[in-house]
Amino acid sequence: MDIRPLHRWDLSADEAIELQRVLAGRVVVDRPLESCDLIAGADISYNLRSSTVYAGVVVLRTADLGVVERKGVVAESPFPYIPGLLSFREAPVVLQAFARIEHRPDAVMCDGQGLAHPRRFGLACHIGLWLDLPCFGCAKSRLTGRFGELGPEAGARTPLRDRGEVVGSVVRTKKRTNPVFVSPGHKIDLESAVRLTLATCKGYRIPEPTRQAHLYVNELRRGEGAL
């Protein structure tokens, strides 16, 4: 994939926060996704005390959730681990992996937050702007916001609200398991993000795009997966 540079990465924490505020104004989260034949899942892994980051991108067909291709990168991230600024540590390496992908996806699912971020600029927003693709977050845990009671059945959902704004949806992907936290990142609305999340589940709590990316990243960490 060809990726056009959006900004430089050698920033201080204060500069990164200011850039988040600027870029958050460019995010589009009210656009329905009309169709999606290929979806990419992206995942990242690292130790908090290490600058080494493992990133994996897996492209799947939505028709049968078969893997089309997968690419990974192991690289050093110069940005420290700072809560609320994780995309500045993670996104540069994820984008290196996307640059190696040959099949341009119609949508991207990130293992992280999108709009459901204190400054409305999580990893999925950042990646979406860089790639100029529909991108959304499907996180395993909540970063911000509150939600009400959620039914026990698969497909149950309830709004995730932060400071009076709906920033995502809490979605039960499997009966009586912990939910996931879905939020739009860029060029996609919340309804489309939730629909894709549920459509790409294959009997597990985690949807197949990010589940496959997670498995791949673990292979890379063990030195088993091909880059």
Q: Give the pLDDT confidence score for residue 162 in this predicted structure.
A: 98
Q: pTM to 2 decimals?
A: 0.96
Question: Could you tell me the residue range of the domain that residue 81 belongs to?
Answer: 28-145+152-222
Tokens, residue 197? 């999340």
The Cα 29–Cα 40 span in angstroms is: 18
The Cα 39–Cα 1 span in angstroms is: 14
Q: Give the pLDDT confidence score for residue 224 in this predicted structure.
A: 86
Does 178 reside within a domain? yes
* Nearest-5° Cα angle at 96, 206 to 211: 10
Q: Give the pLDDT confidence score for residue 166 in this predicted structure.
A: 98
pLDDT band (50, 70, 90) for residue 155: very high
Average pLDDT of the chain is 96
The Cα 186–Cα 173 span in angstroms is: 22
Tens digit of each residue's pLDDT (9 = 90 or more) over 8-52? 999 999 999 999 999 999 999 999 999 999 999 999 999 888 889
Q: Give the pLDDT confidence score for residue 28 in this predicted structure.
A: 98
Does 6 reside within a domain? no
Residue 39, exposed/middle/buried by CB under 10 A (0-12, 13-18, 19+)? buried
Taken in order 68, 74, 76, 80, the sign of the CA dihedral is: positive
pLDDT band (50, 70, 90) for residue 214: very high
Residues 192-200, mean pLDDT to the nearest whole number: 98
Q: Which residue has the tokens 């709906």?
A: 166
Q: Give the pLDDT confidence score for residue 49 in this predicted structure.
A: 82
pLDDT band (50, 70, 90) for residue 78: confident
- Looking at the predicted structure, is the pLDDT value of residue 109 above 90? yes
Does 12 reside within a domain? no
Looking at the structure of the chain, the number of domains it has is: 1
> Is the CB of residue 144 less than 8 Å from the CB of residue 119?
no
Per cent of the chain over pLDDT 70 is 100
Q: Give the pLDDT confidence score for residue 50 in this predicted structure.
A: 86
Residues 155-173, mean pLDDT to the nearest whole number: 97
Tokens, residue 144? 């911000």
- Looking at the predicted structure, is the pLDDT value of residue 226 above 90? no
> Distances in Å between the alpha carbon of 37 and those of 176, 183, 203, 215?
30, 20, 20, 22
- Looking at the predicted structure, is the pLDDT value of residue 118 above 90? yes
- Looking at the predicted structure, is the pLDDT value of residue 136 above 90? yes
Does 13 reside within a domain? no
- Residue 38 Rama label (left phi>0; alpha psi -120 to 50; beta): beta
Does 32 reside within a domain? yes
Does 11 reside within a domain? no
Does 93 reside within a domain? yes
Q: Give the pLDDT confidence score for residue 48 in this predicted structure.
A: 81
Does 1 reside within a domain? no
| CATH number for the domain that contains residue 209 | 3.30.2170.10
- Looking at the predicted structure, is the pLDDT value of residue 140 above 80? yes
Residues 188-198, mean pLDDT to the nearest whole number: 98
